[in-house]
Structures are given as C-alpha cells and as structure tokens.
Amino acid sequence: MYQKHSTISPGVLLPLFVAADAYQVLAVRRVCFQQLQDSITAENVLECFEMADACTAKYLMQACTQFIAQPGNSVLVARQPAMRKMMHEKPELVQELLVAVASSRQSHRKPKKVCCAHCVDKKRKRTT
C-alpha cells in the first residue's frame, strides 16, 4: 500500500499531503512534500501555495515562493487563470505571496565582499 519511492500524481499529492498534515502522519507528509516540491510547475504552484497556506505548511509555501522567484517563472505564474481567480477571491494571500517572492529574490542576491573583520565593523557602524 505505502511505498516510499512510489510516484503519485500531483492531483492526489495535495489532498494526501493535507490529510497527512492534519493527522500528523509524518513519514507520508515528508514523502508528499518531497514529491510536491519536485513536481511544482507554473500551472500548479498557486494551488500548492493555497493548500500550504490552508494547512500552515510554511516549508511548502517557501518551496512555492522559491519556484516563483526563479527567473522567468513569475511571469508564467502571473498569466495563469488561477492567479486572476486568487486575486479576486484571496487578495491578502496574493499580497503575502508577492512579499514572499520579493523577499526570496532579495535574500538570493550576493552580498558584497568584505576584505576583513575590520571592514565589516566599519560597515556596521555606518548603517546604524
């Protein structure tokens, strides 16, 4: 019945993930998360994000925002009919998604190189 390395269709994965999360079946939840993460596309990322929000699965929400933050993906996702629907039905969730994507992009920028600890301290003093 349960096989660790089986492949489950994305249409079944989301409800299974939600059920495993609700009943705290950690092994099933972990496998579902790994497979969901590997099967995120521009067509299903918003559904994944909504489900993750509904069951407060922050790690799945992060996987969705990281997918959208990748170059080219945000435009594909923005053009999905599901985005228009989400904008009308759950504008606060769209706002949360936009903030998370922007934060994800910001955190992936390369920090400026600093030559030594002295320069780090000087830089900190200037910003405070």
Is 124's pLDDT higher than 60?
no
Helix (H) or strand (E) holding 106: helix 91-107
pTM of the model: 0.74
pLDDT of res. 107? 72
Q: What does each C-alpha distance from 98 to 46, 53, 72, 107 come to in angstroms?
A: 12, 14, 15, 14
Per-residue pLDDT band at 106 (split at 50, 70, 90) = confident
